[in-house]
Amino acid sequence: MASVKDISVSAVINLISALVFLLAFAIARLQPINDRVYFPKWYLKGIRASPRSSGSYVNKFVNLDFTTYIRFLNWMPAALKMPEQELISHAGLDSAVYIRMYLLGLKIFVPITLLSFAVLVPVNWTCGETLHHIEDLTFSNIDKLSISNVPSGSKRLWAHVVMAYVYTLWTLYILYKEYKKISTMRLDFLASEKRRPDQFTVLVRNVPPDPDESVSKHVEHFFRVNHSDHYLTQQVVYNANKLAKLVEKKKSYHNWLTYYQTKNERNPEKKQKIKTGFWGLWGKSVDAIDYYTTEIEKLTKEEAEEREKVKSEPNAIVSAAFVSFNSRWGAAVCAQTQQSRNSTIWLTEWAPEPRDVYWDNLSIPYIQLSLRRLLMAVALFFLTFFFMIPIGFVQAFASIDGIRKVLPFLKPLIDMDFVKSFVQGFLPGIVLKIFLILLPMILMIMSKIEGFTSISSLDRRSAAKYHLFVIVNVFFGSIITGAAFEQLDRFLHQSPTEIPKTIGVTLPMKATFFITFIMVDGWAGIAAEILRLVPLIMFHIKNTFLVKTERDREEAMDPGSLNFSVSEPRLQLYFLLGLVYSVVTPILLPFIIIFFAFSYMVFRHQIINVYDQKYESGASFWPDVNRRILIGLVISHLLLIGLLSTKEASQSTPLLIVLTVLTMWFHKFCKGRFESVFVRFPLQDAVVKDTVERTTEPNFNLKEYLQDAYLHPVLKGVDFEVSKEINDEGKNSLVATKRTCRRSSKTVSNGTSEDQKTVSEIQLVF
């Protein structure tokens, strides 16, 4: 069990690490040579000019103005100056709402911390030597500040019950205000947002096959019949995944060719060689420039053949399409209604914005999606419990006394003061963080297999998986396996009825482990985020060997973006820890407050100056954020019920169950009150925006604007056959068809009735 000394050692190590990262960042950001690494967002907006474009030769690389070094921390107040409305215009609503999550943490936990230290800490501390009377129990001085130090059956436990009510009601109040605020922000953002293709477009999936017509014609007929006043155009989805891989591979080979050509120009006497085997580690040694030139020529030929195949073969078109309308109102009606009496076909949803589309998954047959998601659910179950093994291993390092009991031969090494403090105060947190590095990549692959069609939905799905993993493995896994290891000797020599009591007493003692994790992940980890060491190194490597033009230099910049699938679940862990331990072990709360405050400042700076978001969802993730915080609140209630039952205070159980029921009711209330704002677009707002645009821009050609918006990026510039039945204004009153009459059949391929089929077989006058 980590002591105050161990926690102090960990705090010193992590504080020094954080200060080193911050100092390195403060100096590196001032150097002209690093300007594109630390201010890429301004370059992408075309606002910032490179400081290397003028001045002496030395000044193009190193900042010799020493007065700027005196103000090297001015980035901190600068990060807080930009007003929220300006931040939304600058970075988007997603980024602004993400920042508000850290602010939400401060709003919730600052008052809770003040109350806890004013009420609960004195109540716990003044209970005497309760922990000394429990045999074979490992504990530290920090545990005397927790509920563990309160004797069983003591009336002081009612203080914890009362505070649980206060904290819950305060949290629900803040969550309600925040949900209401963000709902209003989303509506205002959508109402004021500039014209975008996704505002007029829906994604149609599971288009039923028709024996007489292509997918393109079939989609056109269906929507010109059923949305005659608002249908404008459509873009079928091509399976260009193989072509995209060829294009990406060709681009990679071009980069390598440029790299070796640059090296050859600098040292022409030395021939550049490369091995043709795996990763260039073995195989035949050949001239690198000749090899990549030949490979690029081959890929160019393959790419041309694949483009022609995608363009000409009917099988390259999948049963999905992007359908655009002449108004937002028409798109909203289509996206938010059922199109056919058969609810499994002609499935419509709002189209993601073009840069948000995940093209690889659009080619997956719709019928496969349910099976894929079932398989991934099973895989997630096994992955979650598989990771219990390393988590349990990590917890073994969280207790020196536990290791000494089970592995006595390590006692001479463990008894060294510095080793003991380092192992208990720093190592568990850093090892756990290392184990979690590869997890987001695995979860994202699983989400892609499930078949989601937008990057934002992939992020939200991966975040849901990660959140489950955080709860089961990082939180419960750390508590249960840690408790079992520490109390192994007691478990082996006590009756089964005493085991729950031992776990209940040990629960608050795990706060020391989580304190070390917070300092590693939330202090040093966040400071490392602002330094951007990997993008800094990669930029200079690319700038040295690949950059020949200004366009190359812009492509070498890696602004990055908010990785919602990782950062949001990680943030939820801090909400969970704060809610659980606010009543149990309040000493943990100041560490969480430091994390929220520091992260708010760092990520605000990154959003203003660095990150370039991949998409804009209008804060559609907020219902998930609110729900997960409430899940943490329910978990805190259930754990407190279990803990108090071991303290002979089971009479408080009904009161805490009321809190749990209240929290669940609050979730249902918020879902009914606000969630529709995040999944539907108000028709009233759609009409207003449509009317304003038609009045201010009466001659705007919307069809031309939308024509290629949803064409696969690798197919841009490829000529496809355009329907001749529709003129440029999309106002042709006739729908031509190649279908033959089948009056004898009772049903047709698209699930419509005979009468509906007959109507669509003739030329319809609108």
Q: How does pLDDT run across 682-739, given as a tens digit for each residue?
A: 899 899 999 999 999 999 999 999 988 999 888 876 555 544 444 444 444 455 555 5
Give dist(CA 310, CA 240) in Å, integer: 7
Q: Is residue 733 part of a domain?
A: no
Helices 157-192, 622-645: inter-axial angle, 10-degree rounding: 170
513 with 654, same domain: the answer is yes
Q: Is residue 488 part of a domain?
A: yes
Residues 119 and 251 both lie in one domain:
no
Question: What mean pLDDT, rounded, does the chain reach?
Answer: 81
Q: Which two tokens stand for residue 312?
A: 């000409």
Q: Residue 393 contacts by C-beta under 8 Å, 6 or more apart in sequence?
A: none
Of 657, 680, 703, the one marking the end of a domain is: 680
> Given a cut of 60, is residue 406 above it in pLDDT?
no
- C-alpha R_g of the chain: 31
Distance of alpha carbon 612 from alpha carbon 606, whole angstroms: 10
Q: What is the pLDDT of residues 629-672, one digit of tens each?
A: 999 999 999 888 888 887 777 788 888 999 999 999 999 999 99
State how far the Cα of 696 lies from the Cα of 676, in Å rounded to an integer.
30
CA–CA gap between residue 120 and residue 601 (Å, rounded):
30
* pLDDT for the residue 725: 43
On whether residue 718 sits in a domain, the answer given is no
- Residue 745 — very low, low, confident or very high, per pLDDT cuts 50/70/90? very low
Claim to verify: residue 22 and residue 166 sit in the same structural domain: yes
Helices (H) and strands (E) in the chain, counts: 35, 6
- One domain, residues 22 and 155: yes
Both tokens of 523, joined, read 């202090």
Q: In this predicted structure, what is the pLDDT of residue 315?
A: 83
Give 324's pLDDT tier (boundaries 50, 70, 90). Answer: very high
Does residue 58 carry a pLDDT above 80? no
Of 352, 386, 420, the last residue of a domain is 352
Q: If you search the block for the tokens 């490829």, which residue do you land on?
A: 718
Q: What is the dihedral of CA 668, 673, 677, 682, to 10 degrees?
A: 140
Distance CA 588, CA 654 (A): 27
Q: How confident is the model over 369-393, as pLDDT tens digits?
A: 889 999 999 999 988 877 777 666 6
- Give 380 or 753, the one with higher predicted confidence: 380
> How far is residue 745's CA from residue 753's CA, in Å, rounded to a whole number?
10
CA atoms within 13 A on the CB side of 608: 20
pLDDT-derived band at 589, boundaries 50, 70, 90: very high
Please say which residue of 652, 680, 708 terminates a domain: 680
pLDDT of res. 392: 65
Tell me, yes or no, whether 651 and 563 share the same domain. Answer: yes
Asked if residue 46 is part of any domain, the answer here is yes
User: Which residues are within 8 A (CB) of 296 and not within 5 positions of it... i.e. 6 or more apart?
Assistant: 250, 253, 254, 257
Predicted confidence (pLDDT) at residue 268 exceeds the cutoff of 60: yes
Q: Domain range holding 394?
A: 374-450
C-alpha–C-alpha distance, residues 240 and 309, integer Å: 10
When divided into structural domains, the chain yields a total of 3
Q: How far is CA 684 from CA 257, 332, 672, in A?
A: 55, 10, 19
Give the separation between CA 642 and CA 583, rounded to whole angstroms: 13
Residue 165 and residue 203 in one domain: no
Q: How many residues does the chain have?
A: 766
Contacts 24+ apart (CB under 8 A), 684-692: 685/187, 685/190, 685/191, 686/327, 686/328, 686/329, 686/331, 686/332, 687/329, 688/191, 689/191, 689/199, 689/328, 690/327, 690/328, 690/329
Residue 754 confidence (pLDDT): 42
Instruction: Flag whether 763 is in a domain.
Output: no
Asked whether residue 327 is assigned to any structural domain, the reply reads yes
Residue 750 lies in a domain: no
Residues 493 and 436 in one domain: no
335 and 234 together in one domain: yes
Q: State how far the Cα of 324 lies from the Cα of 759, in Å rounded to an integer.
A: 23
Domain assignment present for 614:
yes
pLDDT greater than 50 at residue 12:
yes
Q: Residues 584, 561: one domain? A: yes
CA atoms within 13 A on the CB side of 708: 10
Check whether residue 338 and residue 401 sit in a common domain. Answer: no
**Do the Cβ atoms of 514 and 588 come closer than 8 Å?**
yes
Same domain, 40 and 152: yes
92 and 123 housed in the same domain: yes
pLDDT tens-digit readout, 118-148: 999 888 887 756 554 454 445 556 767 778 7
Phi, psi angles (nearest 5°) of residue 710: -115, 30
Beta bridge partners of residue 348, listed in sequence order? 204
Tell me how far apart the alpha carbons of residues 707 and 296 are, in angstroms, rounded to a whole number: 31
pLDDT for 546 beyond 90: no
Q: How far apart are CA 521 and CA 529, in angstroms?
A: 11
Q: Is the dihedral of CA 190, 196, 199, 202 positive or negative?
A: negative
Please say whether the beta carbons of 663 and 637 come within 8 A: yes
